[in-house]
Structure 1
Amino acid sequence: MSELPEMSTSIGVEVTRIEDRVEEAKVTPRRQVDATRILYGKAASDAPSLIGSVFTLCAASQRIASEAAMAAAQSRPTPDALRWRWRRMLYAERVAEHLRASLLDWPGEKSDPRRLAHLPALRKALGAARAAGEGNDNSLHAALKEAACEVGAPLEAGQNPTAWFAELWRDALQYAQIAPWLSGVDFLAIDDIESVHRALCERNADFLARPHLPGRVVETGPFTRQFAYLRRNVGLLAARLQARFQDIAQALDALASRELLAGEGDLVVAGSRRPGEGFAMVDSPRGFLFHRVEIDASGAVTTYDILAPTEWNFHPAGPFAQALAATKLDVAEPRRFVATLAALFDPCASCDIRLHEAQHA
């Protein structure tokens, strides 16, 4: 297993520009959560609740991934009722996490009254999402829809964002000429699950910090889920924000439906290569989340790996780095632009952004 240099809990983003051109965009991965150290020797039955308590963001997705991986390792079937519960929890968390990221992580003054005015709606959404595993579908949908509407999410086709989301939309639109669409995109897909599973089985620490598939630069998350429906004439940042809006609307539609929507069979996928080993992929709010576990004959955890969407999107040569390198930083506040672009890739960690001015030789 290769040794990695000591890393921060934040993602490092270092940009060097010459005039309006990005000379270099360097992304440094964050330090990983050592799940094996946390769970080693613990009973497999205790792992999901422990994992759910460790993570503040996407806690339901983390717990579900752990439950599914453990079930696979123990060759236990997953009842339909449990899968429906997972579905409810994942869609509720998708709405709540998008609202959280939009209100708490968007660049700008944190004490802005326009931001603060919508914090009660966020608390309502987070509370509803936390109770989704036990709650009634109708009341859950109503609470989350009310919160999303209060923040200004456009939930109908052709509807414009209002309230706080209208502020974000104006922010993103101002960069329409700055950040171009890249010539090609490549998205992590359900067909990649075996390749990722195989890489995690190899216990390569470098893959956990810098996951990659040979010859590809892949992304995962709302931009990939909604890509086919995005407007191309508003610039990359506004299109990414539109993907967030559509993800919220789609999740609410799913919560209101008693039937599975197209593609929902891929929300939680699990498998095993041998007895005592289990793997799960969950389509979390920020994208595909992977858990892999090994347990011994007594049912105790011996190995546990977690690979989050952030590691794909903020790979040093990944989609965020590529988008940043392709921009023109001919803006009055270049650091705010970089922060806005990072926010729209929605990492589950803070970004330490540093901007340098280089001179022509």
Structure 2
Amino acid sequence: MTAAPEPGAIHIALALAGERVDAVRVRSTRPAGLAQAFVGRAGSEAPGLARRLFALCGRAQGAAAAEAVAAAAGGERPEAARAADAIGVLAERAAESLRACLLGWPWGDDSSLPRSAVAPLREAIAAAGLLRAVTEANLHDVAPLRAAAERLAAAAAALGAAAAPGRPAPPGTAFAAIAGQCAAPLAFAPPDALRPGDDAAVVAALGRDPDFAAAPSLPGRRPETGAFARLWRDVPHGDGACAARLEARRLDIRETLAALRHTIAGEADPESVLTGGPAGAGAGFGAVECARGRLHHVARVDGDGRIAAYAALAPTEWNFHPRGPYVAALEGARLGDPARALLAAARLAALVDPCVAFRVTLEEP
């Protein structure tokens, strides 16, 4: 089952023993080595280059780059620039969460995205784009920001993503339709959440090992990052893993929209969205909480202010590690016959949400 066409994908192969998942093998064909494009460039070029290279969550990538190169140069970014980035990242996070959840959902043969969801999803994406454009233009009038944030929130509500915690998505909405398909027989298990307190270990590993970004690991752990890792304690556990993950995604969108309003009003610290700091002599890091989880960039600059080394670690590398949380959630699970197993594994993958296409297949006995 395929969520989108290649190139660059997460390949997932299931080995079944009857109705039980005997093994899960994950292989990534995501492009490697993109961080080398930063080397030799002026530090000031890094944010724009990051937005172009990693376009899916471009504002988050640009913000992480800006934090990293500023810290590497021994300086601090202006608070206005950090606040603008936080607004752009939050808008992008809400819209990308909506887009990925609705367009990436494996609906099955007898269902599809409700037609009523198309217009509000387009509105959400347009409103988020306007918020990013206004903040990138360095405009100081908050009125257009507030108006665009209200448009984004209204679109999310129309899709069923704004219901209060503990209340189901309104009937007839896209999120209600997805919730009706989240009965996969996967048991709930608490995640090993990647936290800001892990930044030091992650940044040190990125600076030490150029291959760490492609297959990150922390000793004795299976870290997960993203909406479920952020909010798993706040969602019901009794309906299984898929239902809990969908509710965490919905609650994360709701909280992201609230944070967006507070940040526009100057009532929230950008540090809860993006942060950075030194990472050794001439080096710095940036970390951003984006739609799919915690994103890290690490930069080292030379005496001329040019980038001598660079690394970027996307949330997908944690979540779809060959021994990571997605694999752990499926190993040993009873998913039914092969067709049901494929669909359940694809729906779980959509909820864990890689930043590239994914493909789920069965291994031949």
Q: Same fold (TM over 0.5)?
A: yes
The within-5 A match list for 1:100-179 is 100-108=99-107, 114-133=113-132, 134=134, 136-162=144-170, 163-172=173-182, 174-175=183-184, 178-179=185-186
3-state SS of 1:131 partner: helix
Could you say which residue in structure 2 is the equivalent of 1:296? Answer: 302
Give distance in 1, aligned partners of 2:99 and 2:296.
22
- Structure 2 vs 1, CA of residues 127 and 344 (structure 1 numbering), >3 Å: closer, same or farther? same
| TM-aligned CA deviation for residue 75 of structure 1 | 1.5
Matched, 1:63 2:62: yes
Asked whether the equivalents of residues 70 and 293 of structure 1 are also in contact (C-alpha less than 8 Å), the reply is yes
AA partner of residue 333 (structure 2): T
Give distance in 1, aligned partners of 2:187 and 2:113.
29
Asked whether the equivalents of residues 74 and 275 of structure 1 are also in contact (C-alpha less than 8 Å), the reply is no
| TM-aligned CA deviation for residue 109 of structure 1 | 6.4
Could you say which residue in structure 1 is the equivalent of 2:14? Answer: 15
3-state SS of 2:312 partner: strand
| TM-aligned CA deviation for residue 354 of structure 1 | 1.1
The within-5 A match list for 1:17-32 is 17-32=16-31
Give distance in 2, aligned partners of 1:113 and 1:15.
25
Deviation by residue 1:156-191 (Cα, 9 ceiling, x = unmatched): 24432131111100011x22xx10123x53111111
Give distance in 1, aligned partners of 2:248 and 2:166.
14
Asked whether the equivalents of residues 16 and 23 of structure 1 are also in contact (C-alpha less than 8 Å), the reply is yes
The within-5 A match list for 1:242-257 is 242-257=247-262
Cα-Cα RMSD:
2.3
Asked whether the equivalents of residues 82 and 270 of structure 2 are also in contact (C-alpha less than 8 Å), the reply is no
Matched, 1:212 2:220: no
Matched, 1:311 2:317: yes
AA partner of residue 234 (structure 2): Y
Deviation by residue 1:98-124 (Cα, 9 ceiling, x = unmatched): 111122111136997644542332222
**TM-score (ref. length: structure 2):** 0.88
Could you say which residue in structure 2 is the equivalent of 1:96? Answer: 95
Task: Give unmatched runs, 5+ long, in structure 2.
Answer: 1-6, 136-143
| TM-aligned CA deviation for residue 324 of structure 1 | 1.1
The within-5 A match list for 1:37-56 is 37-56=36-55
Asked whether the equivalents of residues 19 and 335 of structure 2 are also in contact (C-alpha less than 8 Å), the reply is yes
3-state SS of 1:101 partner: helix
Asked whether the equivalents of residues 17 and 357 of structure 1 are also in contact (C-alpha less than 8 Å), the reply is no
Asked whether the equivalents of residues 223 and 240 of structure 1 are also in contact (C-alpha less than 8 Å), the reply is yes
Asked whether the equivalents of residues 95 and 124 of structure 2 are also in contact (C-alpha less than 8 Å), the reply is yes
Which range is displaced more, 32-41 or 81-90? 32-41
Asked whether the equivalents of residues 73 and 278 of structure 1 are also in contact (C-alpha less than 8 Å), the reply is yes
**TM-score (ref. length: structure 1):** 0.89
Could you say which residue in structure 1 is the equivalent of 2:206? Answer: 200
Could you say which residue in structure 2 is the equivalent of 1:186? Answer: 192
- Structure 2 vs 1, CA of residues 157 and 55 (structure 1 numbering), >3 Å: closer, same or farther? same
